Amino acid sequence: MTKKKINDLALAASLTANMQLETDISGATANKINMQQIFDEIDGRVPNASVDVFTTTVGQTVFTLSSTPASVAGVSFYHAGQLRPPTDYTVVGTTVTWLDLPYTFVAGEEIIIKYNDVTGCAPPVTSVFGRIGNIVAAVSDYDASQVDNDSGVTGATVKDALDTLDSQSGVTSVFGRSGAVTAQLNDYDASEVNNDSGVAGTTVAAALNTLNAAISVTKTIVIYADSGNANYSNRRPRDVAGAGTYRYNYFIPYDFNTLTAAYIVLYPTSGAAGSGKDIDLHEEHTNSVGQSNVQYTSSDTTTVYNLGTVDTRYHLDVSPLLVNLAAGTDGGILVDTNAIGGTIHTMCMVITYT
């Protein structure tokens, strides 16, 4: 048993009184037991001893305690001031049963049962977070999940409350980037940017399309046939007999970007109208100064055409041959009719472009 010096005078006085009490009611043996209580009290534990006193009836074997002992081992059974060994009785809950039946109690004997009851005595604290002495709070003493949340944020614990706020924090990254995010290429498409300019369109993409449509005006150039040789009503066409040739010179303006259409306007006469008309097309052009007059050439001699109805306008499409054009291109188209059965009145060549 460890010996400890008692420095607290009040505590010493209390313990002395306690010893005196035990001496009075229990005699020398009980006094020995109370020495353990003394040291328990010195250790900081509160013994909170309960004492139940019974006056026996004849043959009584069962004694009901006023509360439940903290441990069976802590129960002391005194008969006529004599501490009985634990083999003489059992303790189950609040029931103490006398087993030493060879001895039968007679009426009026005093039984004292001492014990520490469960409800009245908190288990002693021997350390806090593994630390002893003058304990002060330290980091990691508690996790957030161990701290009750009495704030207005939803959650039973502080951890729950933090999770609630985290789920509501919103932005976790911008375009897949975190940290101090700065704008970079491809963050937005034009269709994702609001247009607050004066150009029509709700988005920048729409505004650009508006402008593109405005500047992408289809333009037309018209090349008239070479000098006519007969009147055709109020017109003066270049007539080509059933078999013959005619040519158009053309120049592509410097604002050219893309060819839209190219055709020759003509009116077939009787015999030239209708299907199966064999017309050869030969084209040549030059894109810039210093190039040959046949820098680019193209031919279509196998396509046959349906020139439609007599004296009805027809567009002879020559656009398939106009490839590799550029701003400033000059060239010529030869139209060679091969016995198409009649005269055609050729009016002009039309080129449209953007």
According to the binding rule CB under 8 A, does residue 270 interact with another protein? Answer: no
Contact by Cβ (8 Å): 252, 328: yes
The yes or no reply on residue 296 touching another protein (CB under 8 A) is yes
Chain centroid to Cα 17, Å, comes to: 72
Q: Which amino acid is at 47?
A: P
> In the bound complex, what is the minimum distance in angstroms from residue 296's beta carbon to another protein?
6
Q: Is 321 in the site for another protein (CB under 8 A)?
A: yes
From residue 12, how far is each of 22, 114, 126 by CA, in Å? 15, 22, 22
Q: Of the listed pieces 36-44, 183-191, 232-240, 287-295, which binds another protein according to CB under 8 A?
A: 287-295
Location of structure tokens 């439609």: 308
- Cβ neighbours for 164, distance < 8 A, ≥ 6 positions apart: 153, 154, 155
* DSSP symbol at 242: S
Under the binding rule (CB under 8 A), the answer on residue 288 touching another protein is no
Q: How far is the CB of 293 from another protein (least distance, A)?
A: 7
Binding to another protein by residue 276, rule CB under 8 A? Answer: no
Q: How far is the CB of 270 from another protein (least distance, A)?
A: 28
8 binds another protein (CB under 8 A): no
Q: Distances from the Cα of 106 to the Cαs of 79, 99, 112, 169, 294, in angstroms? A: 12, 15, 15, 79, 146
Q: Is 295 in the site for another protein (CB under 8 A)?
A: yes
Indicate the residue among 65 and 318 with the shorter CB distance to another protein. Answer: 318
SS3 string, 285-323, reads EECCCCCCCCCEEEEECCCEECCCCCCCCEEEECHHHCC
Q: Residue 317, interface with another protein (CB under 8 A)?
A: no
CB of 261 to another protein, least distance (A): 18
One of 23, 57, 104, 301 touching another protein (CB under 8 A): 301
Shortest distance (Å) from residue 308 CB to another protein: 21
Applying CB under 8 A, which residues contact another protein?
280, 282, 284, 291-303, 320-321, 323-324
